[in-house]
Amino acid sequence: MPVLQSLQSLQSLQSLQSLQSLQSLQSLQSLQSLGASVTASPVGYITAHDGIAGLWQGSATPVPRNLADPGNLNLWGAPSQQTVLSNEVLSRLSYGADPDSGTAIIYLLDQADPSGTSPGFTAAPVAQMTAPTPEDFAAQARMVSDYADLRSDRIAEITDQTAGTIAYFAQITGLEAGRHRATLQLLSLAQDCASHAAQQSKHMLACHRPVALSAQIQPIIPTPTHSSLPSGHATEAFAIAETLIRLATAAPDAAAQVMHMAARIAVNRTVAGVHFPVDSFAGAMLGTVVADIIAARAGQLDAVQPLRFNGAQTGNEDFYTSRIWHDGARQSPMTESGTAIVEEQPGPAGTDLSALLARVWTDALAEWAL
């Protein structure tokens, strides 16, 4: 009898597993039916066409579409939309370097007459970065080694964030793909533009990674194959954070948590062993500028405040939230000796309005209305 009961229990378990497998398959099929790609096999299309299309009956006459109409954006697929939006920002950025001071410079362009056949541009510096000295990096390497103590606690976050970070901000604000489509477009835009700006800056500054300074660092994730400063994750995280807090304004404490999350994402890269703390100062500064440029192009800011990062004398300076954002306001961190790490520069920079970005921003704001 116990054997029969055991067999019946096993059969019941197998039936339950089969039911769960079927439910999982049905859930997967439902998810696939809601996906962006709805396709079948080419052979199936051929036989279906032959069976139902019949003789040629003529075609419809297409309705003309307005040139450069912002509304045309909704006609395209998501990748094309994101490319168009990114170009609205990246087309207003230019890059340069000052060999005498060792400074990488990002310029914001202002198109004087966007409707003209030969538009003119003016350029103003909005982000300047000077790398730390070799001695500064040597001191920072010891800090990277000390941060390894946090690896066991942060490993899940570090692994997640190698693939992307927006999900960590979504948990704070209730961001959902179904309800916040335009918001997600702007956050993806911030991430993409931040990545481009960071990569160009990395190329110009050409800073070593921590692993190049000590065999004891031993990163727990693959070291990226590009320059260390500015931190790309910090740049992207702060560009996303600054954009999100301009949109999701309902929760009174959301802004503080969003900024803490951006800083935590940046620090996680130091914990992982692939960035110095000073890389995050530069990344946070650059991400803030990128977010301001997007807001300005969307008509949300009159001008962009230029910022400068100075890595000299940053030896043992550590990066954490309150050094760059505190009590709802941006901060200007300084070294113990009183040298500014990040500071505002004179001459706010303007740029021309993007009707396309203004429309997407308006749609995004509406998504957060209660």
For the full predicted model, state whether its pTM sits above 0.75: yes
Q: Say what the pLDDT of residue 19 is.
A: 45
Contact present, 141 and 321 (Cβ < 8 Å): no
Q: Is residue 201 part of a domain?
A: yes
Q: Say what the pLDDT of residue 38 is.
A: 80
Q: Is residue 271 part of a domain?
A: yes
Q: Is residue 104 part of a domain?
A: no
CA distance 293 to 295: 5
Domains contained in the chain, number: 1
Q: Say what the pLDDT of residue 306 is.
A: 98
For residue 185, the enclosing domain spans 134-303+314-331+352-367
Question: How big is the chain by its Cα radius of gyration, in Å?
Answer: 26
Give the tens place of pLDDT for each residue, 265-321.
999 999 999 999 999 999 999 999 999 999 999 999 999 999 999 999 999 999 999
Q: Say what the pLDDT of residue 55 is.
A: 94
C-alpha dist (Å) from residue 111 to 88, 123, 301: 12, 9, 16
With a cut of 50, list the residues of the chain below it in pLDDT: 1-4, 6-7, 9-10, 12-13, 15-16, 18-19, 21-22, 24-35
Q: Is residue 182 part of a domain?
A: yes
Q: Say what the pLDDT of residue 37 is.
A: 64
**Tally of helices (H runs) and strands (E runs) in the chain:** 12, 7
Residue-wise over 208-238: b if at least 16 C-beta within 10 A, else e? ebbbebeeebebeeebbeebbbbbbbbbbbb
Q: Say what the pLDDT of residue 31 is.
A: 38
Contact present, 194 and 236 (Cβ < 8 Å): yes
Q: Is residue 298 part of a domain?
A: yes
Q: Is residue 106 part of a domain?
A: no
Question: Tokens 């004891």 appear where?
Answer: 216
Q: Is residue 168 part of a domain?
A: yes
For residue 359, the domain's CATH number is 1.20.144.10
Q: Say what the pLDDT of residue 26 is.
A: 47
Percent of the chain with pLDDT over 90: 82
DSSP secondary structure, 188-212, as one string: HHHHHHHHHHHHHHHHHH-PPPGGG
CA 24 to chain centre: 32
Q: Say what the pLDDT of residue 227 is.
A: 95
**Residues, the chain:** 370
Sheet containing 342-344: which strands, arranged edge to edge? 93-98, 103-111, 121-130, 307-310, 342-344
Q: Say what the pLDDT of residue 116 is.
A: 66
Q: Is residue 342 part of a domain?
A: no
Contact present, 188 and 82 (Cβ < 8 Å): yes
Q: Say what the pLDDT of residue 27 is.
A: 46
